[in-house]
Amino acid sequence: MAYESVDKLQKALVDNVFHYAKDSKKAAGRALGTIVEIITYYLIKTWGLNNQISIERGLEEYGNPDITHNVEFSLHPIVRSSFLIIDKTDKSITANKILKALQEQKYNLKGFEPKNNQLLNNGVLRNACTIATSKESFLLCSIKADKGDKFELHIYEQSKKPYSVFECKRVGVEEGMSKGPQTIEKAKQGAYVARSASSLQKIRTESGELHGIIYKSDGSYIIKPFVDLMEEIIYSKDKELLRRFILTVGVVSNHGNWFTSENQNKELKVLAQSYDWLLFLTDVGLAEFIEKLLFKPTKEFAPIREAFISSYTVTKKKNQFTKVQMNMEADRILLDYFSKNLNTIEGWFNIISPKKKKLLTLKDELKELKNKNWTTILK
Q: What would the mean pLDDT of 70-96 be, rounded to a whole number?
A: 93
Least confident stretch, 18-22, 169-173, 342-346:
169-173
> pLDDT by residue (tens digit) across 154-201?
999 999 999 999 999 876 555 544 444 456 777 788 899 999 999 999
Task: Note whether 18 and 302 are within 8 A (CB).
Answer: no
Instruction: Note whether 172 and 123 are same-domain residues.
Output: no
* pTM of the complete model: 0.93
Instruction: Note whether 94 and 13 are same-domain residues.
Output: no
Domain assignment present for 312: no
Task: Note whether 31 and 18 are within 8 A (CB).
Answer: yes
Of 21, 12, 39, 33, give the one whose Cα is nearest residue 295: 12
Domain assignment present for 43: yes
Instruction: Note whether 45 and 182 are same-domain residues.
Output: yes
Q: Say what the pLDDT of residue 25 is.
A: 76
Q: Say what the pLDDT of residue 19 is.
A: 75
Instruction: Note whether 45 and 106 are same-domain residues.
Output: no
The residue length of the chain stands at: 379
Q: Give residues with Cβ within 8 angstroms of 117, minimum separation 6.
A: 94, 95, 126, 129, 130, 131
Instruction: Note whether 179 and 155 are same-domain residues.
Output: no
Reply yes or no on whether the pLDDT at 336 is more than 90: yes
Output 87 or 368, whichever has higher pLDDT.
368
Reply yes or no on whether the pLDDT at 208 is more than 50: yes
Q: Say what the pLDDT of residue 2 is.
A: 59
User: Distance (Å, rounded) from C-alpha 334 to C-alpha 39?
Assistant: 9
Instruction: Note whether 175 and 252 are same-domain residues.
Output: yes
Q: Say what the pLDDT of residue 260 is.
A: 54
Domain assignment present for 38: yes
Q: What would the mean pLDDT of 295-315 be, rounded to a whole number?
A: 90
Domain assignment present for 362: yes
Give the residue ranges of DSSP H helices in the chain: 6-16, 24-44, 95-104, 181-196, 226-234, 239-242, 266-272, 283-289, 302-311, 328-340, 342-346, 359-370, 374-377
Give the residue ranges of DSSP H helices in 105-248: 181-196, 226-234, 239-242
Distance between alpha carbon 52 and the CA centroid of its chain, in Å?
A: 11
Instruction: Note whether 255 and 366 are same-domain residues.
Output: yes
Distance between alpha carbon 89 and the CA centroid of its chain, in Å?
A: 32
Output 202 or 10, whichever has higher pLDDT.
202
> pLDDT by residue (tens digit) across 140-152?
999 999 998 899 9
Of 89, 83, 118, 125, give the one whose Cα is nearest residue 102: 83
Q: What would the mean pLDDT of 296-318 be, rounded to a whole number?
A: 88
Domain assignment present for 69: no
Q: Position 2: which residue type?
A: A
Instruction: Note whether 53 and 134 are same-domain residues.
Output: no
Q: Say what the pLDDT of residue 89 is.
A: 78
> pLDDT by residue (tens digit) across 88-135?
877 899 999 999 999 999 999 999 999 999 999 999 999 999 999 999
The sheet carrying 129-133 orders its strands as 78-87, 150-159, 137-147, 129-133, 113-114
Least confident stretch, 42-51, 167-176, 219-228:
167-176
> pLDDT by residue (tens digit) across 308-335?
998 887 776 778 999 999 999 999 999 9
Instruction: Note whether 105 and 17 are same-domain residues.
Output: no
Instruction: Note whether 117 and 14 are same-domain residues.
Output: no
Q: Say what the pLDDT of residue 55 is.
A: 98
Least confident stretch, 65-74, 144-153, 176-185, 247-256:
176-185
| Helix, strand, coil shares, percent, the chain, to 5 | 40, 30, 30
User: Distance (Å, rounded) from C-alpha 324 to C-alpha 281?
Assistant: 20
Reply yes or no on whether the pLDDT at 65 is more than 50: yes
Of 26, 371, 64, give the one whose Cα is nearest residue 195: 64
Burial class from Cβ neighbours inside 10 Å (0-12, 13-18, 19+) for residue 104 reads exposed
Domain assignment present for 206: no
Instruction: Note whether 262 and 279 are same-domain residues.
Output: yes
For CA atoms 292, 297, 299, 300, the dihedral sign is positive
Instruction: Note whether 48 and 174 are same-domain residues.
Output: yes
Domain assignment present for 114: yes
Q: The domain containing residue 91 runs over which residues?
A: 78-159
Q: Position 272: which residue type?
A: A
Q: Say what the pLDDT of residue 171 is.
A: 62
How many separate domains does the chain show?
2
